[in-house]
Amino acid sequence: MEEIGLNGGAPSFSIVADNIRVCLCPGINCLCVKACTSCKSLIFDKWEPRPHVLSQRISVSLLGQHVAYAMTCENHELGMLCIVSSKDIREVVVRRVRGPICDLTFTRSAIDNLLAVIDAFGDVYVYEMGETKFGSLQVTNLLHISQSADFASYYHLLCWYADDYSKILLVTDDHNSQVWDIKSILEKQGQGSYFREDIGHSCVRLSHHSAPITCGVIAPEGKAVATVSLDGRLKVFFINLSFGQYSREMPCVQSWEPHKGKTLSSVHFLNKEAPRQFSYQWIIATACDQNSEIKIWSMETFTCLQVIRFRPSAGPLYQLKLEADLFINFLFFVDTTTSHCYILELEHEKEMIRAKSISSCALPFGILGYHVVDVRPSSNRIWARILGICKESICEFVVIAPRARMPEKFNIETSCDTDLDKVLRTVDRLLQAVERQRKALYTQKDWVSKGKQGMILKEWSSQLEQELAKLSRDPKQPISYNDFKLNTGGFMTCPHLRTWSSALISVILNNQDELKGAQEMQELQACVINHLNWQHTFLADVQVHEMTSLLKALYPLKQPPMKEGLKFSEGDLFLPVFSDPDSQWWNVLASDGSIGLIPSSYVISCDQIRQEDIVRFLDTAREGIQVRTVTRGGVFSKEQKNALAICDQMHDSLLGPNKDCSQDLGSSSGSSVPPLNLEMSTDRNFKDSPIEEEMVGAICQELVEAVRSQTHLSHKLSQAAVLVVTDILNHHLPKLHGDLTSLCECLRGSVSLLNTDEHVQETKDAFRLRDALKHLIEARYDEQQRSWALHEDEDDILKWISIIMDVMENADVKISRHILALDGFRYVADLVAYYQMEGRRTIRLSLLKTLMVLAAVVPAAIPTLVHSVLPLELARDIMSCGDDFERLNCSMELLTIILSLGTPLPCHYFGGQRLMGLLLVLKQKLVTHFVAHLQEQLNETFLEFLLSLVEPSPELGEDDVLSNTAFILLLALNLQFPSSSPSTNHLMTIISGQQDTPVLCEKLLYTFNREEEPLDLVEEAQKRDCSSVVKFLQDMFSQEHTAQFFYTNDVNVAIDILIRILNNLSNDDTRKASYLVFLHNVVKWTGYDEQRHRVSDVHSLLLAISKDEKSLTDVSFWASTILHFLPS
């Protein structure tokens, strides 16, 4: 038995033996020195530990677009599920699961994105992931298959068959297991809820175990199932679900005890593909004792190929959770007690599969369940991304563990065979090991200063000579060193030998003093140069071999912990200068020419970079290095010279040598390179003739417009780009400091660079905006085209609308405000009129979005919109949208924006409650429509909140887009009614007619607790003393009937929030009076004299406010008034 001790000095080992014992030494906590792990908390909740092998409560879809996890329910007898979309980070919470969730898993299919869930009662739920018309996540319940028994157990598991078209699901229930054809069930019975007895035609029952089943898997070809249980037995079943032929019960074809009766924890098929013949040619891995012992079996011969045991040096056995990656290249063991991860790498060689190496790393804290999302191995590292459920959160772990290397002593088997291929393969293995050892030494930063280490290369050369002698074609006449030098055969054509030799040559040339006595190496150098004609290119070849692999940042680093560290963002590229594979910090060159240290765990090697991208990076980095030498008088540091040499050599190897753009940096250690000639050629002296003040704005505007026209960036981004360039020039050109400082101040301090209306009208964007508006107005007045179209003009109209949108969003904001304000906002009125008369959906939708941008960019136009026909037209649109959710949402958003400032609507809108009557009709119409036709598509939250008439329904999935938009619209509408006269508030009258409004109350308290103002939609709008949320709550609590909509606990929460806010506000704050009015209504209309929640805190707070001399008059008045109502 081979024993492996994992510790901080050796966190990875290669595995050669068939019987391995992995022992964790006491120094395991220092693993982080060799293997780095980063952690990011994504979701916060609380989970309780369960039986270890059954703790799978998280799953990720095949393409990573959805994550599902079991939630903790306050009532532990029920289950809850949350599904998160990685596209827009939206969540869908699935409630009303019969019992606590035991297992959940996504299909391993790129076509059907299905999720299967099983609870403690054995009920199986199948959900389909999709998208709404708005692009948000939509979850559809396809099947609910109930178990008739009421017995609860945690021994319920699921496993999908990994196939793109089949929907085969393995379901285990305590001692029993079944295989279901989900596709057949949906085709024959359709979506809905069924009992297990109803799907007998589409399922196969397997013979039971004598103890609960702990794991079950389906073979790669889908014709066999393996299950293991606590009775210590592994059972294999043949199944046949093709052609609709089903059997009541399938017998077991193989059953044995792989671990001599020990309780089994896991089983995995290790074959990536189905065997060539349908037989027992599977390779299976079984695990027992909570996965602390794993065996790899050949089902063809029933022999154990390998045994790996995880045994602590002292204490109880490990509690390991075992998961495999998608391609079955790695097995992950996570210890829930010591928070460590062990990675077992598998070697697939023809029909033989075995573990070839083991790596380890430490996790920040323990996890209860996890899912391996992605694994990316490199030559010396294993990078893996894991989603894990911890006790109080779901975290994303990025694990970077070292990969096992060849041992230092090269115990390579010698061969006396005359077969040249075998000889070359053996030489290839030897040279790979030599290359790894040489690279590890060569990449150390200070090894050149240690002459004794240089002589190690001579020992390697001698060892190479000995190995070549052993590998002679003729064992009686071994190859001598001279024969090796003169040999022009297969050895010198071996790519690894060429790499090793060229690298050795570069080391000799760069370190002549340390290697003066290495005569054999100098002879080898001359031999290789003469033989392969590398007189001019060998040094570039070795440097390219070392450095062509750029590094890409996985995560940003804003504050490096050391002075030499570099700041960088996610996706930045680096060129390694000195990168010891065993070091946590690598010395790299960034694209801006800076040289410093970065953490090795934050980057990954990028081998698939296009040549033009590498060349662009090298050119940018070289320019950055040269610019940085300006402050040092043109003198390059040693690191900069080395980095420039690497860049030049890589550039020449990719595009050929270019003497004009490279400089000889190695001629003398004390030589300096002349600085860049950055002085500007001009006809006048800027120092003596500074830029005039009135010219500064014009120059800045010209620069910004030039950048914008060439790059198509927005005005804001173009201004930022010009500011960055001007700042850099100001730093490096002291002679122009005064003029460039003026430009920087102008660019930094001005939102708009246009000073006069004449300048605005002469800009290119102003011409574009006026021209597009002119064409749009012509289309409006073209009666012939509207009544009897002579040509198709929809594309032209959409093009003009897009131009208007582009100018308003990307041009100088002063241009849009000036042009649209001409003639008393005539253009705005024309846009509204054109929107009213246009009937084509695409144009109306584009106009809606244009008016939304217009209202946000030009706040002065909002009164014009409010007093136009637009509010009534939007109300009609909301009524007639039907299934067009996008137009419905846009219409509500636009109506919200124009009402967000509280601008009073014309008085005739309220005659006979015209506007409110339209909304009431809308409410009744939508109820009938959605209940009749869209019961599954539209969630209960929208109906309860917006309409307040529909009872809660057990629909799955929640789309909050329409609900939130309608909620904010109600806040804006409520601004039309003064709080001083609640009896005339028509909105409160409509709400009081509802039976209850739980969702509305919930959203009000949620927004109130966060102290948000949802109507802050216009940046330059004046802030209100009383927010829209507080006003709505004041009105809801202004009468007893609507105040009763809030539960007692909601009222208590509102009082807690009020106490917190009032304590944080000063007594001279004008907003404090609105909160006191709200508190007054709560105390008066909610029966506070009976509840008396925190009455002492409220009393002391009000007493302090009333006695404070700094309190405003209305603040003191309301504090005294509330004290009068407050129970003693």
CATH number of 2-62+145-402: 2.130.10
**Res 285: pLDDT:** 93
Count how many Cα atoms sit within 13 Å of the Cα of residue 899 in the half-sphere of its side chain.
Answer: 25
Would you call 898 helix, strand, or coil by DSSP? helix
Top pLDDT among 500 and 176 is at: 176
Helix (H, G, I), strand (E, B) or coil at 152: coil
Whole-number pLDDT of residue 849: 92
- The per-residue pLDDT for range 117-161, each reduced to its tens digit, is 998 888 999 999 888 777 778 889 999 999 877 777 888 899 988
H helices present in 145-215, as ranges: 182-189
Lowest mean pLDDT among 43-57, 182-196, 399-413, 931-945: 931-945
Sheet with 19-24: list strands edge to edge.
Answer: 2-6, 19-24, 303-312, 293-298, 283-288, 264-269
Region of poorest pLDDT, from 241-250, 420-429, 726-735, 1010-1019: 420-429
On the 0-12 / 13-18 / 19+ scale of CB atoms within 10 A, 357 is: buried
CB-based contact 120:69 (threshold 8 Å): no
> For residues 716 and 808, is the Cβ–Cβ distance under 8 A?
no
pLDDT > 70 in the chain, percent: 67
The 8-class DSSP code of residue 1093 comes to T
Question: Rounded to whole angstroms, how far apart are CA atoms 334 and 89?
Answer: 27
* Mean pLDDT on 199-227: 86
Query: Residue 391 corresponds to which amino acid?
Result: K
Angle between helices 764-780 and 813-820 (to 10 degrees): 40
432-475, pLDDT tens digit by residue? 554 554 445 444 433 333 344 444 444 555 555 554 454 444 44
**The pLDDT value given to residue 296:** 92
Q: Give me the DSSP letters along 398-422.
A: EEEEEPP---SS--PPP-----HHH
Residue 967 near residue 1012 (C-beta atoms within 8 A): no
In the prediction, which pLDDT does 76 show? 60
Give the mean model confidence (pLDDT) for residues 1052-1069: 88
Between CA 37 and CA 382 the distance in angstroms is 11
Asked whether 145 and 123 are in contact (CB, 8 A), the reply is yes
Residue 113, C-beta contacts closer than 8 angstroms, at least 6 positions apart: 61, 62, 65, 66, 106, 107, 128, 129, 130
pLDDT of residue 260: 87
Instruction: Give the count of alpha carbons within 13 A of 481, CB side only.
Output: 11
Q: What is the mean pLDDT of residues 810-828?
A: 87
φ, ψ of residue 739 in degrees (nearest 5): -70, -45
* CB contact at 8 A, 579 and 602: no
Closest CA to 579 of 555, 549, 556, 613: 549
Model confidence at 527: pLDDT above 60:
no
Helix, strand, coil shares of the chain, percent, nearest 5, are 45, 20, 35
Residue 42 has pLDDT above 80, yes or no: no
- State the pLDDT confidence band at 4, using cuts at 50, 70 and 90: confident
Cβ count near 446 (within 10 Å): 8
Give kind and range of the element (H or E) at residue 127: strand 124-131
Cα-flanking dihedrals φ and ψ of residue 44, to 5°? -110, 125
Which residue's entry shows tokens 């906002």? 825
Please, what CATH class does the domain formed by 545-661 belong to?
mainly beta
Cβ(439)–Cβ(451) below 8 Å: no
Nearest to 934 by CA among 915, 921, 950, 945: 950
- Confidence check: pLDDT of 419 > 80: no
More confident position, 643 or 652 = 643
CA separation (Å) from 314 to 26, 189, 311, 406? 9, 57, 8, 30
User: What's the pLDDT band for 1055 if we cut at 50, 70, 90?
Assistant: very high
CA–CA distances in Å: residue 680 to residues 676, 677, 700, 722, 733: 12, 9, 19, 18, 9
For 70, 386, 929, the CA distances from 62, given in Å and listed in that order, are 18, 14, 37
**Main-chain dihedrals φ then ψ at residue 377, nearest 5 degrees:** -80, 145
Tell me how far apart the terminal alpha carbons of the chain are, to the nearest angstrom: 81
pTM of the model: 0.42
Does the pLDDT value for residue 636 go beyond 70?
yes
